[in-house]
């Protein structure tokens, strides 16, 4: 695989759990962190996989992430919750909240939760998949550090603010939308930077607000808040639909930050050396809420087949449904996952730091 090596999933999980435990994270929570990160790698979303482990190590070390959060339901109705994550690891806070949403939705047909005072939660799709695997429709969004420039703006104000929505089908693979509302997430720039590749000019701007192909420059500017940033879905102009991506990013911030009474926009990671107050909004819906469950699933099959059987563009032999590529990756990655060599080397460095054997090569 060239610059990639494969490592056994079980050993990679062992490694992440041991690292988290060294940082005083309880084993049950450490396993949640490992599962979220490795699920991303299994689905081919390497920007949010174990390549991000050091981010959580640093957050725990510097006190921005609480290894023992007192996660509280501040307000609750039969179909909703307001949750305070006590600066816990985002995966742990959201996993536990989504589990409760699923339980409540079984009784009340649906439940949504606004979560404040949390941290980065990994791939948005993990939590919509939780609902899907419980036989439900899943929804998951989160705000993030200000990385995205609003249409006609120069500096980043909003996060990449991803959206995930998962709906079951009967015989076809489920529909699983999992996308940033920016043209690309920051993790994609990190991948290009690791590989020494130039980024397309439609992805980001430099500190002057002009398009740039230099991933390292954009990442440095974002880190130091020097100006510029990622572009919203559709790019930097109304003519290319950038205002639509900008609107979607704002919608996510409303659901996550405003609805929860937490941080939004520039206030996320707004105070140095303080918890970032990342906010999320997740939910589960019973598939028989509106029509019979079989009718819904048959309808999904019909729509999916209609799209997949539509005429193909010249040179193309397949139309994909959202989530299809990722499910196929998971089917390939049942025992091992591919890691970019620099990611694997970083894991070895982490292992040396904590006195833990690195994950084995398959």
Which is more confidently placed, 225 or 112?
A: 112
- Under 8 Å CB-to-CB from 300, ≥6 apart: which residues? 167, 168, 169, 170, 172, 174, 175
pLDDT for 228: 93
pLDDT at 186: 84
Is residue 88 situated within a structural domain?
yes
Note whether residue 40 is domain-resident. Answer: yes
The DSSP secondary-structure symbol of 158 reads B
Tell me if 255 is assigned to some domain.
yes
Give residue 32's domain range.
4-183+231-292+324-354
**Nearest of 93, 50, 58, 47 to residue 74 by alpha carbon:** 93
CA separation, residue 200 to residues 27, 32, 126, 272, 357 (Å): 41, 35, 28, 31, 38
pLDDT band at 1 (very low <50, low <70, confident <90, very high): low
Torsion angle, CA of 333/3/347/192, rounded to 10 degrees?
Answer: -100
Q: For residue 96, how many C-alpha atoms fall within 13 Å in the half-sphere facing its CB?
A: 20
191 within a domain of the structure (yes/no): no
The pLDDT assigned to 46 comes to 92
pLDDT for the residue numbered 318: 97
Position 2 confidence tier, pLDDT thresholds 50, 70, 90: low
Look-up of token digits 């028989």: 288
Domain containing residue 98: CATH number: 3.30.1370.60
Taking only the tens place, the pLDDT of each residue in 243-266 is 999 999 999 999 999 999 999 999
In a domain, 237, yes or no: yes
CA distances from 66 to 56, 88, 234, 318 (A): 10, 5, 36, 46
Domain-located, residue 211 = no
Q: Is the pLDDT of residue 287 over 60?
A: yes
* pLDDT tens-place string over residues 125-175: 999 999 999 999 999 999 999 999 999 999 999 999 999 999 999 999 999
pLDDT at 342: 93
Q: How many domains would you assign to the chain?
A: 1
For the stretch 4-55, pLDDT in tens is: 999 999 999 999 999 999 999 999 999 999 999 999 999 999 989 999 999 9
Three-state DSSP at 282 gives strand
Mean pLDDT of 104-108: 98
Cβ 211 vs Cβ 236: under 8 Å? yes
In-domain check, residue 96:
yes
CA distance 28 to 44: 25
pTM of the model: 0.94
Q: What is the pLDDT of residues 324-341, one digit of tens each?
A: 999 999 999 999 999 999
């Amino acid at each position: 695989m060239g610059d990639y090596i494969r490592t056994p999933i079980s050993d990679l999980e062992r490694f992440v759990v041991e690292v988290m435990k060294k940082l005083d994270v309880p084993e049950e929570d450490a396993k949640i962190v490992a599962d979220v990160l490795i699920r991303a790698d299994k689905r081919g979303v390497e920007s949010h996989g174990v390549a991000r482990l050091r981010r959580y190590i640093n957050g725990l070390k510097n006190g921005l992430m609480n290894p023992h959060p007192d996660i509280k339901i501040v307000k609750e109705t039969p179909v909703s919750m307001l949750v305070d994550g006590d600066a816990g690891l985002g995966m742990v806070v959201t996993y536990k909240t989504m589990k409760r949403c699923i339980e409540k939705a079984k009784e009340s047909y649906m439940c949504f939760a606004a979560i404040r005072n949390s941290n980065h939660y990994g791939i948005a799709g993990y939590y919509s998949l939780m609902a899907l695997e419980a036989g439900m429709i899943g929804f998951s969004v989160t705000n993030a550090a200000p990385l995205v420039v609003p249409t006609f703006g120069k500096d980043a104000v909003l996060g990449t603010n991803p959206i995930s929505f998962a709906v079951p089908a009967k015989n076809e693979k489920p529909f699983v939308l999992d996308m940033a509302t920016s043209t690309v997430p920051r993790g994609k720039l990190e991948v290009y930077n690791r590989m020494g590749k130039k980024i397309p000019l439609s992805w980001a701007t430099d500190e002057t607000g002009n398009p740039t192909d230099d991933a390292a420059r954009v990442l440095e500017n974002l880190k130091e808040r020097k100006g510029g940033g990622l572009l919203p879905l559709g790019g930097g102009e109304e003519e290319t639909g950038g205002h639509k991506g900008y609107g979607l990013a704002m919608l996510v911030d409303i659901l996550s930050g405003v609805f929860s009474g937490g941080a939004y926009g520039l206030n996320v990671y707004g105070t140095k050396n303080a918890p970032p107050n990342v906010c999320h909004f997740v939910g589960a819906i019973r598939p028989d809420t509106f029509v019979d469950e079989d009718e819904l699933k048959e309808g999904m099959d019909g729509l999916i087949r209609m799209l997949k059987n539509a005429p193909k563009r010249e040179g193309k032999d397949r139309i994909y449904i959202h989530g299809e590529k990722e499910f196929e990756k998971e089917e390939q990655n049942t025992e091992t996952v591919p890691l970019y060599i620099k990611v694997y080397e970083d894991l070895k460095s982490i292992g040396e730091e904590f006195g833990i054997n690195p994950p084995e090569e398959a």
